[in-house]
């Protein structure tokens, strides 16, 4: 039986900004891009969330929801420094740590002898130490698997702790709304509700094959989650699947030629990011993403396509033909394979 902790910092970027400038406390605050330059909210505090502001929301729309919203630019170097310090606290309790981002991670403390082997006490101690050292709060969830630990960490936010003991799993999951399940978005939640399924307990009579027929491969995942089953281990060394860079333009790029003219700057940044990778990867295939002025988007990738400026120009031309409208965002990247061959052996891009 695993003991898994999911630790999630509360409105991480905004919390650090309020910590470093007390004048920002108590007012709606977001960290993100300039509303006048098509910026996006990275995170916001709870005062802003009361107005409906959310992460990944366009900054301009966030300002419409909350006219008094203050949006400050991100300070990524500071956030990384705080994240590293929090990760160091985690390592005092277990070597099995899987960071998901700067502000959240899974910890497997099944074999930890700290705090008398109690996952609950470990989670409490971590929260106290982060508060004392960094003056920000974190929420934590403790459960027998990753799926439940992540749900639990969000249960009593902010500054909360939720523990789901093994003998509580069945009763907890049975009453869990289906929209709380990882992977269930608005579309899937609507389909489930149309079938009369509002909570996980109502999924239990369904056979696995019937869920697969109704929801495809995700149906099998639904069958397991409805029973609180999640055998995924905490993965310490996660392998990158891709490297990419994208840019949202202040003014829509009006045509294909304008998109092609924008590629060199993106490819230069992509080359810099690839240069920071180790030699355990090799390039599998290039890809390009275009988001059009109507917010529809398309991604095109092709195995065997040349990883070169000309190769990206060809991908861009084909992707643009799918929409044929002005473009607000371009992303370029490569898919990666784990391999012993150094990445540089296949890198013909630059």
Q: What is the spatial distance between Cα 28 and Cα 105, in angstroms, rounded to a whole number?
A: 27
**8: annotated binding-site residue?**
yes
104 annotated active-site: yes
Q: What is the spatial distance between Cα 338 and Cα 166, in angstroms, rounded to a whole number?
A: 36
DSSP string across 189-223: HHHHHHTT--BGGGGTTS-HHHHHHHHTTHHHHHH
Cβ-contact 58, 40 below 8 angstroms: yes
Identified catalytic residue from 17, 47, 81, 104: 104
Q: What is the spatial distance between Cα 256 and Cα 327, in angstroms, rounded to a whole number?
A: 9
Q: What is the spatial distance between Cα 79 and Cα 85, in angstroms, rounded to a whole number?
A: 10
Cβ-contact 181, 222 below 8 angstroms: yes
Pairing of strands 161-163, 138-143: parallel
CB atoms within 10 A of CB 208: 12
> Where on the phi/psi map is residue 225: left (φ > 0), alpha (ψ -120 to 50), or beta?
alpha
Per DSSP, 51 falls in state: T
**34: annotated binding-site residue?**
no
Active-site residue numbers? 104
Please state the residue numbers annotated as binding site for Mg(2+): 8, 103
């Amino acid at each position: 039986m695993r003991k898994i902790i999911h630790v999630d910092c509360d409105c991480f970027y905004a919390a650090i900004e309020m910590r470093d400038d007390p004048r920002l406390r108590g007012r709606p605050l977001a960290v993100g891009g300039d509303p006048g330059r098509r910026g996006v909210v990275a995170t916001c505090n709870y005062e802003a969330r009361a107005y409906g502001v959310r992460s990944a929301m366009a900054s301009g729309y966030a300002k419409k929801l909350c006219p008094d919203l203050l949006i400050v630019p991100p300070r990524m170097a500071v956030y990384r420094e705080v994240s590293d310090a929090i990760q160091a606290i985690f390592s005092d309790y277990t070597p099995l740590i899987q960071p998901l981002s700067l502000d959240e991670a899974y910890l497997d403390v099944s074999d930890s002898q700290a705090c008398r082997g109690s996952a609950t006490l470990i989670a409490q101690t971590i929260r106290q130490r982060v508060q004392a050292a960094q003056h920000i709060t974190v929420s934590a969830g403790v459960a027998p698997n990753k799926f439940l630990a992540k749900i639990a960490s969000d249960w009593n936010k902010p500054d909360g702790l939720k523990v789901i003991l093994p003998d509580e799993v069945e009763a907890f999951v049975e009453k869990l709304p289906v929209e709380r399940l990882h992977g269930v978005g608005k579309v899937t939640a609507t389909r489930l509700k149309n079938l009369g399924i509002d909570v996980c307990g109502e999924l239990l009579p369904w056979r696995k094959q019937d869920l697969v027929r109704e929801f495809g491969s995700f149906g099998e995942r639904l069958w397991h989650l409805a029973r609180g089953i999640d055998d995924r281990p905490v993965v310490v060394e996660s392998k990158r699947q891709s490297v990419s860079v994208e840019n949202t333009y202040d003014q829509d790029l009006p045509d294909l030629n304008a998109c092609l003219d924008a590629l060199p700057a993106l490819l230069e940044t992509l080359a810099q990011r690839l240069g920071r990778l180790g030699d355990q990867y090799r390039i599998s295939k290039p890809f390009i993403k275009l988001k059009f002025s109507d917010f529809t988007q398309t991604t095109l990738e092709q195995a065997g396509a040349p990883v070169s400026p000309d190769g990206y120009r060809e991908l861009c031309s084909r992707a643009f033909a799918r929409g044929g409208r002005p473009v607000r965002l371009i992303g370029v990247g490569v898919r990666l394979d784990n391999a012993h061959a150094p990445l540089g052996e296949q890198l013909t891009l630059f």
